[in-house]
């Protein structure tokens, strides 16, 4: 018997099956290579370490030293009264709600602190304390100034004139920074939501006062013995999430656009195949673009390209991972080499001469993988360091941004000659069009003469476009890499739902080739295909990084403003999705989508299933208060169909459901749809 057990244990898998781990051939190839070289990756760890079943359901509390208190659901479900409680008496609803809003606090803090760092760099630039940054988008500076209650004009000799830009920028910077900690008032961008939405927030008492306060208050309320009513806890979670979406994240996006330029459509490529064997490969990873913007300028300069040539390389190839990748893709066309789950794999190519990281979504295991290769791993942020001794820390400071970026580029170039393992770069890469935003959607779907959202609205009303899907978020090693992302998006576009994407979903779609106008003819339903072909846009529009989910909110507000589709975001035929989420930021994003009136479906898991009453509150009761609500659907096709059903429900409520019935689908189109 003991021998049998031994054999079984030996047979137990300790490494991932590459095909089961990812749908992407490049990823599969690199997982295989890592296993041959004996280098462990997240995919293998996901096989050997299983998640805690109680934590997954949201019913483990460790908010005090008497716990952790674990409240598993009884076998056969709850019969009668739910008597589960922690040592202090906390109910499953209280525990799940506390855990949930602590995740919102974590996510909102990450986005908002990113925004604050950008605002600080913005101030440095506005005050001309650095040569590295200049304000690029003065038009947007003026637009944003108005939302921050900053006068853009001044009276001179009885006439109103535009204010001096330098003076305006300083005041915008000061007003923006105050949003994190002002003593009175409310987050100013909340008024950018449609009036009806703002009124709902007012009625519910959830307009954020300032960005930091709402996050701090979550930590207070969830301390042992404070707020013990799941509805009241969620009220605070809602206020903090709105402070993220319509506050910290939106400020990050807007100030980045003013400082680095508002994105405009451009072409690039995506996946590990963008790395080049005969060039210095510098991979940038994380979220904040303040350093990567300068690295792009330095690495592209003649001086450093020549330096790379002097070391035997053909030049410097930049590529990106996660949302730093999205930031530099959107503004400069720097190709993303992978999503969150591919970060270790970029090093496993043997061609990554340096990987420079800033904040968020960075695996500590990168340092262990880098040790097996020649790769220099460089941390740059004072709040994000690693304990391993092979990690180099070059602390970035906007006052000497150029010098910091040059040090990093030099390290990468000097390391080119040190490659010790055979280089193996997967050949897979896809062409893409990225760089969309609120402004470019307006331009493309409005045309030269009617730069507005009317054309988009017209096409929604006439049924060519059935609705809008905001599909965003991470990869999660507990599910097959990119499968959920791609199946959800393909099902949506096949059913004429145009997709707005950000984060790792955007990179996944890029790798799959869905970010090209040509995709429309292959994967889209006939209505959406017609629109995309007419205006020359992809059916999946890349709107940027995690903080750029605020662009989706603003695009939704513009659609409401253009008319014909109700008065509020909750009236729109639209739905949100994060098929492979994993981060606390995703929970914050999901919740500000919901609080903004969007039906939002998450895949993989949701830490609420162990507290059914609390789950019903999020999945059903929220709709009555906010018009938006949560849902969980693991199966990607059902996931997309739930979104489509919601879109159809909204079309019916608007009285535009008949329009779609008049769209005739011929047999060829149907066959193309079936085979897609």
Contacts to ligand SF4 by CB under 6 A? 61-64, 66-69, 86-88, 90, 95, 224
Measured from the CB atom, the residue of 334 and 504 that comes closer to ligand MSK is 504
Measured from the CB atom, the residue of 230 and 363 that comes closer to ligand SF4 is 230
Residue 474 is a binding residue for ligand MSK (CB under 6 A): yes
Selected binder of ligand MSK within 583, 596, 605, 615 (CB under 6 A): 583
Measured from the CB atom, the residue of 57 and 339 that comes closer to ligand SF4 is 57
d(CA 444, CA 465): 15
Measured from the CB atom, the residue of 68 and 451 that comes closer to ligand SF4 is 68
Measured from the CB atom, the residue of 66 and 160 that comes closer to ligand SF4 is 66
Q: What are phi and psi of 632, to 5 degrees?
A: -130, 125
Question: In the 8-state DSSP scheme, what is residue 274?
Answer: G
**Residue 87 touches which of ligand SF4, ligand MSK, none (CB < 5 to 8 A by kind)?**
ligand SF4
Shortest distance (Å) from residue 321 CB to ligand MSK:
8
Kindly give, in sequence order, each residue whose CB lies less than 8 Å from that of residue 559, ignoring residues fewer than 6 positions away: 453, 456, 457, 460, 468, 565, 572, 574
Selected binder of ligand MSK within 59, 188, 258, 361 (CB under 6 A): 361
Q: How far apart are the first and last CA of the chain?
A: 51
Which range touches ligand MSK (CB under 6 A), out of 306-314, 417-425, 583-591, 621-629? 583-591
Q: Where are the alpha helices (DSSP H) in 209-356?
A: 211-221, 230-243, 249-260, 289-300, 302-310, 322-332, 343-348
Shortest distance (Å) from residue 222 CB to ligand SF4:
9
Measured from the CB atom, the residue of 113 and 571 that comes closer to ligand MSK is 113
**Residue in 108, 540, 103, 502 with CA at minimum distance from that of residue 323:** 502
d(CA 28, CA 427): 12
The size of the interface with ligand MSK (CB under 6 A), counted in residues, is 14
**Residue 394 touches which of ligand SF4, ligand MSK, none (CB < 5 to 8 A by kind)?**
none
Shortest distance (Å) from residue 577 CB to ligand MSK:
13
**Residue 224 touches which of ligand SF4, ligand MSK, none (CB < 5 to 8 A by kind)?**
ligand SF4
- What is the 3-state composition of the chain as percent helix, strand, coil, each rounded to the nearest 5? 55, 10, 35
d(CA 553, CA 592): 9
Cis peptide before 576 (omega within 30 of 0): no
Cα angle 262-264-269, degrees, rounded to a multiple of 5:
120
Shortest distance (Å) from residue 66 CB to ligand SF4:
4
Measured from the CB atom, the residue of 234 and 604 that comes closer to ligand SF4 is 234
The number of beta carbons lying within 10 Å of the beta carbon of residue 311 is: 13
Shortest distance (Å) from residue 589 CB to ligand MSK:
9
Measured from the CB atom, the residue of 287 and 494 that comes closer to ligand MSK is 287
Residue 103 is a binding residue for ligand MSK (CB under 6 A): no
Please give the full DSSP string across 142-167, using - where no structure is assigned: HHHHHHTT---EEEETTEEEEPPHHH
d(CA 623, CA 333): 40
Shortest distance (Å) from residue 65 CB to ligand SF4:
7
**Residue 361 touches which of ligand MSK, ligand SF4, none (CB < 5 to 8 A by kind)?**
ligand MSK
Q: Which residues bind ligand MSK (CB under 6 A)?
A: 287, 322-323, 340, 361, 473-474, 503-504, 545-546, 583, 585-586
């Amino acid at each position: 018997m003991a021998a049998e057990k031994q054999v079984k244990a030996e047979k137990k898998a300790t490494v991932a099956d590459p095909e089961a781990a990812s749908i992407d051939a490049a990823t599969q190839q690199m997982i295989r290579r890592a296993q041959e070289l004996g280098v462990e990756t997240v995919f293998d760890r996901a096989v050997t370490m299983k998640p805690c079943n109680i934590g997954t359901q949201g019913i483990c509390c460790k908010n005090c030293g008497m716990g952790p208190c674990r409240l598993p659901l009884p076998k056969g479900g709850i019969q009668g009264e739910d008597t589960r409680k922690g040592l202090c008496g906390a109910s499953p609803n209280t525990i799940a709600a506390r855990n949930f809003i602590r995740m919102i606090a974590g996510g909102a803090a990450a986005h908002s602190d990113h925004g604050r760092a950008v605002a600080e760099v913005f101030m440095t630039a506005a005050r001309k304390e650095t040569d590295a940054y200049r304000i690029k988008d003065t038009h947007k500076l003026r637009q944003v100034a108005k939302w921050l209650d900053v006068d853009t004009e001044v009276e001179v000799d009885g006439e109103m004139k535009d204010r001096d830009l330098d003076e305006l920028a300083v005041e915008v910077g000061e007003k923006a920074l105050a949003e994190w900690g002002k003593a009175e008032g409310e987050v100013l961008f909340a008024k950018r939501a449609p009036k009806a939405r703002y009124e709902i927030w007012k009625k519910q008492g959830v307009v954020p006062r300032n960005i930091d306060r709402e996050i701090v208050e979550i930590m207070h309320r969830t301390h042992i013995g404070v707020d013990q009513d799941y509805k009241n806890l969620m009220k605070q979670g809602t206020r903090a999430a709105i402070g993220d979406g319509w506050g910290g994240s939106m400020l990050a996006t807007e100030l980045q656009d003013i400082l680095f330029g508002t994105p405009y459509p451009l072409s690039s490529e995506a996946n590990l195949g963008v790395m080049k064997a005969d060039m210095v490969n510098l991979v940038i990873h994380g979220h904040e673009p303040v350093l990567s913007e300068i690295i792009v300028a330095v690495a592209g300069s003649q001086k450093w390209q020549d330096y790379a040539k002097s070391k035997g390389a053909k030049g410097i190839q930049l590529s990106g991972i996660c949302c730093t990748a999205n930031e530099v893709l959107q503004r400069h066309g720097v190709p993303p080499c992978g999503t969150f789950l591919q970060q270790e794999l970029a090093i496993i190519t043997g061609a990554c001469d340096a990987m420079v990281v800033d904040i968020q979504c960075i695996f500590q295991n990168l340092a262990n993988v880098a040790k097996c290769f020649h790769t220099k791993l460089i941390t740059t942020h004072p709040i994000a360091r690693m304990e391993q001794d092979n990690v180099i820390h070059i602390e970035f400071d906007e006052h000497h941004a150029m010098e910091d970026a040059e040090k990093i580029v030099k390290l990468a170039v000097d390391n080119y000659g040190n490659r010790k393992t055979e280089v193996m770069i997967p050949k897979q890469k896809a062409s893409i069009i990225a760089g969309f935003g609120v402004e470019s959607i307006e331009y493309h779907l409005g045309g030269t003469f009617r730069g507005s959202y009317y054309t988009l609205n017209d096409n929604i009303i006439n049924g060519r476009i059935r609705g809008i899907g905001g599909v965003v978020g991470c990869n999660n090693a507990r599910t097959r890499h990119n499968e959920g992302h791609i199946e959800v998006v393909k099902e949506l576009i096949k059913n004429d739902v145009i997709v707005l994407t950000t984060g790792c979903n955007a990179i996944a779609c890029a790798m799959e080739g869905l970010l090209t106008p040509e995709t429309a003819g292959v994967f889209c339903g006939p209505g959406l295909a017609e629109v995309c072909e007419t205006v020359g846009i992809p059916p999946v529009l890349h709107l940027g990084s995690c903080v750029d989910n605020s662009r989706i909110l603003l695009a939704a507000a513009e659609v409401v403003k253009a008319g014909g589709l109700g008065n509020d975001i909750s009236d729109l035929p639209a739905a949100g999705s994060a098929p492979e989420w994993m981060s606390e930021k995703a929970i914050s994003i999901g919740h500000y989508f919901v609080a903004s009136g969007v039906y939002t479906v998450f895949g993989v898991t949701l830490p609420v299933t162990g507290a059914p009453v609390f789950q019903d509150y999020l999945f059903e009761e929220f709709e009555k208060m906010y018009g938006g609500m949560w849902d969980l659907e693991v199966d990607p096709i059902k996931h997309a169909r739930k979104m489509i059903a919601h879109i159809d429900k909204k079309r019916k409520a608007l009285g535009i459901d008949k329009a779609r019935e008049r769209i005739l689908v011929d047999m060829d189109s149907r066959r193309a749809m079936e085979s897609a």
